[in-house]
Amino acid sequence: MRVRRGGRHKDLASVRAFAENHGCILVSILRMNLVTAESLITTALGRMNALYSQTVFDEWVVLSLQTGRGGILAYHGPRAESFQRRLAADVEPLRAEMEGKHLAVGDFEFAPAAAGTRFDACLRIGQASYLICNHTGKSMTEIRQDPRWLHAQRPFVELSGKFRTDSLE
């Protein structure tokens, strides 16, 4: 991505480097859009599946909790027609795990005992945006029992870093 300023072009990395070298605090001038976020999520989950040699999360949702504009921003999974009706109940194990915690953008939480349609993982991807993931047939405890989980979680951690650097808004 290129930024134009004063007739000169500078890429974003150069702008960030300049700010760091001069003791400046760089307020993010760019915000990731939903299309880019969905692409990053799909790629990361695909890499997780490849490293795990089977599906890690077969369902994911991008939610916005922004006052007045909140709701479901994106859904991918096997329950397109029915998941919305059960969303409040299915997110309950994650809500319980997150209670009292204040996740920063890029932080994540897992609900080890969530099973079936209950959501297993949450990643804060913006000031009011969250990615929640689920395997509709296994719990996180079952997924973690496979030794391939150790390598499969790397793309998830990398994804969290991408949102920490450039959050969805």
Q: Give me the tens of pLDDT residue by residue for the chain, a chain 169 residues long.
A: 333 334 333 455 555 566 566 666 555 445 789 999 999 999 999 999 999 999 999 999 999 998 887 899 999 999 988 889 999 999 999 999 999 999 999 999 999 889 889 999 999 999 999 999 999 999 999 999 999 999 999 999 999 999 999 999 7
Shared domain check, 38 and 24: no
Contact (Cβ atoms closer than 8 angstroms) between residue 114 and residue 122: no
Q: Tokens standing for 150?
A: 């150790």
pLDDT value for 21: 64
Shared domain check, 98 and 26: no
pLDDT value for 169: 78
Largest CA distance in the chain: 56
pLDDT value for 5: 38
Shared domain check, 86 and 136: yes
- Picking from 35, 52, 77, the residue whose alpha carbon sits closest to that of residue 140 is 52
Residue 58 is given by DSSP the state S
Shared domain check, 36 and 21: no
Structural domain of 63:
32-165
Shared domain check, 55 and 73: yes
Shared domain check, 46 and 17: no
CATH number, domain of 137, equals 3.30.450
Shared domain check, 89 and 14: no
How many domains does the chain fold into?
A: 2
Shared domain check, 20 and 84: no
**Helix residue ranges, H only, the chain:** 12-21, 34-52, 83-90, 92-98, 140-145, 149-152, 154-165
